[in-house]
Amino acid sequence: MIDDGGQWLTVLIAVLGGAIRVGTPFLFVSLGECLTEKSGRINLGLEGTLIMGAMAGYGVAWISGSPWLGVLAAGAAGVVLGFVHALLCQQPRVNDIAVGIALMILGTGLAFFIGKPLIQPSAPHLPALSLGGWSDNPALRAALEINVLFIIGVILAPTLAWFFRSTRWGLAVRTVGESDDAARAMGLNVNGVRMLATMAGGFLAGVGGAFLSLYYPGGWSEGLSSGQGLMAVALVIFARWDPVRCLYASLLFGGAGALGPSLQAVGVTWGYYLFNAAPYVLTLALMIAASSTKVRSGMPGSLAAR
């Protein structure tokens, strides 16, 4: 029998490890969504992009033997879906939410269709760094097996914040997101900027998908994603359109997602599914709490205008 303190420590470590493992795809998809939303569009289709990326990444990694080529292929698949989203949304009277859901269905369908032969073979996994070597605790060591993609994501978040804050291109994205008219007055190509932002967002979401199939949970199956792509939209709002806060929020959502399984591992099975709902309830509560002011700070103007 383990004493109570040890049990809670186990849960804590498992949640920590889960926050990093489960949080990584959240991180990439939410950074992608953040970039797209900063330009003034919502892409609900990132769920489809994520699954498509998972499939393409797994397939290419299996054929080429290189997981990094797989990551690139996953990003490329995301770019293509982002291109389709942007192309449709820039037509008059076409709603970005509807296009997103259509692409979610199409992306998921295509991935399952093309990926059917990939369920059996096993592709090489992405490498991980063991940062827990100093500890004797095997659980802690397992939790500190950090994937390289996570480290890239951690660097990417502040880089993206810097990009928005201090570069000419970042200013262009923010201007287009605030007001079509102001952007046009500055001589910016509104549709062009949104197109690039959506495609780059798709790339990041595709990479998030590659993490799912090439690291954790690993392998290609139809149940690989549990709605992380859709969740990312909520997560970006939670993070108030700030890439660095997207990083914290991804870890929080990852940890919340790992809470149910971690409790189950130490024998607390009651309420497993309720704990799974924790991130959603949290987001909703925060949205309601933050919403009394008319326009939320940080929200791109053209998203607020509707």
Partner 1 sequence: MPLQLFPFLIPITALALALVLFGGFVALAGANVLEVYHSIYRGAFGSWFSWQNTLTSAAPLMLTALCTALPARLGLIVIGGEGAVVLGGLAAALTGLALIDAGPWVALTGMALAAMLTGGLLIGLVGWLRYSRNVNETISSLLFNYIGIAILSFLVIGPLRDPATLNKPSTHHIADTHMLGALGESSIHWGFGYGLIACVILWVLYKRTTFGFAVDMVGGNVRAAKLSGLPVGRTIVLGCMMGGAAAGLAGMVEVAAVHGRANTSLNAGYGYEGILIAFAARHHPLAIIPMAILFGGIRAASGLMQRDHDLPDATSLVLQGIIFILILASEAVFARLASRRGRAA
| Chain contacts with partner 1 (rule: CB under 8 A) | 42, 44, 84, 88, 91-95, 97-99, 101-113, 116, 222, 227, 230-231, 233-234, 237, 270-274, 276-277, 280-281, 283-284, 287-288, 291-295
Min dist CB 109 to partner 1, Å, is 3
Min dist CB 277 to partner 1, Å, is 3
- Written as six digits, the tokens of 280 are 């959603």
CB nearer to partner 1: give 63 or 88.
Answer: 88
DSSP 116: G
CB nearer to partner 1: give 103 or 161.
Answer: 103
Given the structure tokens 């799912």, which residue do they identify? Answer: 212
CB nearer to partner 1: give 230 or 252.
Answer: 230
How far separated are the first and last CA of the chain, in Å rounded? 58
Phi, psi of 160 (to 5 degrees): -65, -40
| HSE toward the beta carbon, residue 218, CA cutoff 13 A | 12
Buried b (16+ CB within 10 A) or exposed e, 111-127: bbeebeebeeeebebbe
Cis omega before residue 217 (within 30°)? yes
CB nearer to partner 1: give 97 or 266.
Answer: 97
Min dist CB 230 to partner 1, Å, is 6
CB nearer to partner 1: give 113 or 134.
Answer: 113
Q: Would you state the torsion angle of the CA atoms of residues 128, 130, 132, 135, taken in this order, to the nearest 10 degrees?
A: 140
Min dist CB 156 to partner 1, Å, is 24
CB nearer to partner 1: give 143 or 237.
Answer: 237
Min dist CB 180 to partner 1, Å, is 16
Min dist CB 62 to partner 1, Å, is 18
CB nearer to partner 1: give 143 or 180.
Answer: 180
Phi, psi of 129 (to 5 degrees): -100, 135
Given the structure tokens 């000419």, which residue do they identify? Answer: 168
247 Cβ contact list (under 8 Å, min separation 6): 27, 153, 154, 157
Min dist CB 1 to partner 1, Å, is 26
Residue of 187, 157, 155 lying closest to 172 (CA atoms) = 187
Q: Which amino acid is at 47?
A: E
Is residue 90 within 8 A of residue 195, CB to CB? The reply is yes
